[in-house]
C-alpha cells in the first residue's frame, strides 16, 4: 500500500477482527453475567473496529488513484465481515442489539450503560488515533528540522573550509606582494647606484675631454708659436 498509516490501521483492524470472530461461539456456551460481559466486550471492540475503518476511509481519500481501488475493495470486505459478525453475535446472544433490548426490557439500563461505555471507548479511541497522528506529524517535523539542521551544518562547514582556502590564497598573495615590494626596493637602490655611476662617469669623461683639449692646445702652441 502507498499509505503507511493505512497499513498501521489495517494491522489494528485485523487484531480487533480476530478477537471479535471468536466471541459468537463463546456466547453460545456462557450465560448470565459472563454473557453480559462478553456482549459488552464485543460492543466495545466493534466500536473500535468501526473507528479504525473510518480512519482507513480517511486515508483512502488521500491515497493515489493507482492504489485506491484495491484499498476500497478491502474496506468493503472488512465492513461486510464486521456486519456478519454482528448478525452472528445477535443469533448467539439474543439480548445483543436493539431487538434484544425491546424483548428484554429489564436489561434496558444495563445495555444503555454498555452503549455509554462503548461511546466513551470510541471517543478514547478517536483521541488515541488523533494523538498518534499528532505524534507522527511531530516526529516528521522533527525529522525535517533535523535534516535541515544537518544540511545547514554541512553548508556552514563547506563555507568555513572555502574561507580557509581563500585566507590561504590571500596570505600567499600578500607574501608575493611583500616580496615584490622588497624586489622593487632593491631595484630602486640599484637604479640609484647606476645613476650615480653614470653621473660620475660623465664627470670623468668631461675631465678627460678637457685634459685632452688642453694637451692638444699645448701641442699646437708649442708647434706653431714657439719658433
User: In CATH, what number is assigned to the domain containing residue 105?
Assistant: 1.20.58.400
C-alpha neighbours within 13 Å on the C-beta side of residue 51: 21
Which ranges constitute the DSSP H helices of the chain?
A: 4-20, 23-28, 32-61, 65-92, 97-103, 108-225
pLDDT in tens, 172-185: 888 888 888 888 88
Residue 87 covered by a domain:
yes
For 2, the 3-state DSSP assignment is coil
Q: How confident is the model over 35-39, as a mean pLDDT?
A: 83
Residue 224 covered by a domain:
no
Matching residue, cell 452472528? 88
Structure pTM?
0.38
Residue 199 covered by a domain:
no
> Which pLDDT value is given to residue 16?
87
Contact assessment for residue 51 and residue 126, using Cβ atoms and an 8 Å cutoff: yes
Residue 149 covered by a domain:
no
Q: Band of the pLDDT at 100, cuts 50, 70, 90?
A: very low
For 166, the 3-state DSSP assignment is helix
Residue 202 covered by a domain:
no
Residue 187 covered by a domain:
no
Contact assessment for residue 70 and residue 6, using Cβ atoms and an 8 Å cutoff: no
Which ranges constitute the DSSP H helices of 62-107?
A: 65-92, 97-103
Q: Band of the pLDDT at 3, cuts 50, 70, 90?
A: low
Q: Domain of residue 115: give its range.
A: 4-142
Q: How confident is the model over 49-77, as a mean pLDDT?
A: 80
Residue 130 covered by a domain:
yes
Residue 218 covered by a domain:
no
**Total tally of structural domains belonging to the chain:** 1
Q: What residues contact residue 75 under an 8 Å CB cut-off, 6+ apart? A: 53, 56, 57, 60
pLDDT in tens, 117-138: 556 556 676 677 777 777 777 7
Angle at the Cα of 186 (from 184 to 189), degrees rounded to 5? 110
Q: Band of the pLDDT at 114, cuts 50, 70, 90?
A: very low
Grid coordinates in use for 6? Answer: 493505512
Amino acid at each position: 500500500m502507498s499509505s503507511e498509516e493505512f497499513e498501521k490501521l489495517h494491522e489494528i483492524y485485523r487484531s480487533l477482527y480476530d478477537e471479535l470472530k471468536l466471541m459468537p461461539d463463546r456466547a453460545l456456551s456462557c450465560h448470565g453475567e459472563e454473557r453480559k460481559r462478553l456482549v459488552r466486550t464485543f460492543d466495545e471492540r466493534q466500536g473500535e473496529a468501526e473507528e479504525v475503518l473510518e480512519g482507513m476511509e480517511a486515508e483512502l481519500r488521500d491515497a493515489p488513484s493507482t492504489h485506491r481501488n484495491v484499498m476500497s475493495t478491502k474496506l468493503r470486505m472488512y465492513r461486510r465481515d464486521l456486519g456478519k459478525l454482528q448478525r452472528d453475535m445477535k443469533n448467539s446472544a439474543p439480548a445483543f442489539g436493539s431487538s434484544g433490548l425491546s424483548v428484554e426490557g429489564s436489561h434496558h439500563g444495563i445495555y444503555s450503560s454498555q452503549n455509554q461505555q462503548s461511546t466513551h471507548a470510541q471517543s478514547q479511541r478517536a483521541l488515541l488515533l488523533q494523538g498518534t497522528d499528532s505524534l507522527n506529524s511531530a516526529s516528521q517535523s522533527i525529522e525535517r528540522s533535523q535534516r535541515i539542521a544537518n544540511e545547514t551544518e554541512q553548508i556552514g562547514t563547506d563555507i568555513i573550509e572555502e574561507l580557509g582556502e581563500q585566507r590561504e590564497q590571500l596570505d600567499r598573495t600578500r607574501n608575493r606582494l611583500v616580496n615584490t615590494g622588497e624586489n622593487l626596493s632593491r631595484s630602486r637602490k640599484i637604479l640609484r647606484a647606476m645613476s650615480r655611476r653614470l653621473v660620475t662617469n660623465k664627470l670623468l669623461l668631461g675631465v678627460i675631454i678637457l685634459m685632452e683639449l688642453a694637451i692638444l692646445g699645448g701641442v699646437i702652441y708649442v708647434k706653431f708659436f714657439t719658433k
